[in-house]
């Protein structure tokens, strides 16, 4: 089984065969209620955002990954709209 940390500032991994440590860049100070942690058997469905400077991914059950396409269509439209609205 492989594990992946869903975080943009991943730096490097170290460890042994039985366990490892992921190292990340320092994050900005934030309230603890803004941090989430989940352990699940999800697959990543990536959106095609062209040459945008941002990425958009959805994590879904393997059996529901095809349903995530609708969510990607709606969500990327909203993100683009909000980015343009608040520039």
**Looking at the domain assignment, is residue 39 inside a domain?**
yes
Structural domain tally of the chain? Answer: 1
Question: What is the Cα–Cα distance from 44 to 48, expressed in whole angstroms?
Answer: 13
Question: What is the Cα–Cα distance from 35 to 7, expressed in whole angstroms?
Answer: 11
Give pLDDT, residue 5. Answer: 64
**Looking at the domain assignment, is residue 15 inside a domain?**
no
* Tens digits of residue pLDDT in 10-41: 777 888 878 888 888 887 777 766 667 778 88
Q: What is the CA radius of gyration of the chain?
A: 16
* Tens digits of residue pLDDT in 47-80: 888 877 778 888 888 898 888 888 888 888 888 8
Q: Which two tokens stand for residue 16?
A: 């042994």
pTM: 0.50
**Looking at the domain assignment, is residue 54 inside a domain?**
yes
Q: Which domain holds residue 41?
A: 29-85
What is the overall mean pLDDT for the chain? Answer: 79
Element (DSSP H or E) covering residue 85: helix 68-85
**Looking at the domain assignment, is residue 6 inside a domain?**
no
Question: What is the Cα–Cα distance from 43 to 31, expressed in whole angstroms?
Answer: 28
């Amino acid at each position: 089984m492989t594990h992946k940390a869903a975080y943009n500032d991943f730096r490097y991994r170290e460890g042994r065969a039985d366990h490892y440590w992921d190292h990340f860049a320092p994050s900005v100070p934030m309230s603890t209620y803004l941090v989430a942690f989940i352990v699940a058997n999800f697959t990543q469905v990536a959106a095609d955002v062209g040459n945008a400077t941002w990425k958009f991914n959805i994590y879904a059950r393997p059996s529901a990954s095809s349903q995530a396409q609708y969510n990607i269509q709606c969500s990327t439209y909203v993100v683009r709209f909000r980015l343009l609205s608040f520039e």
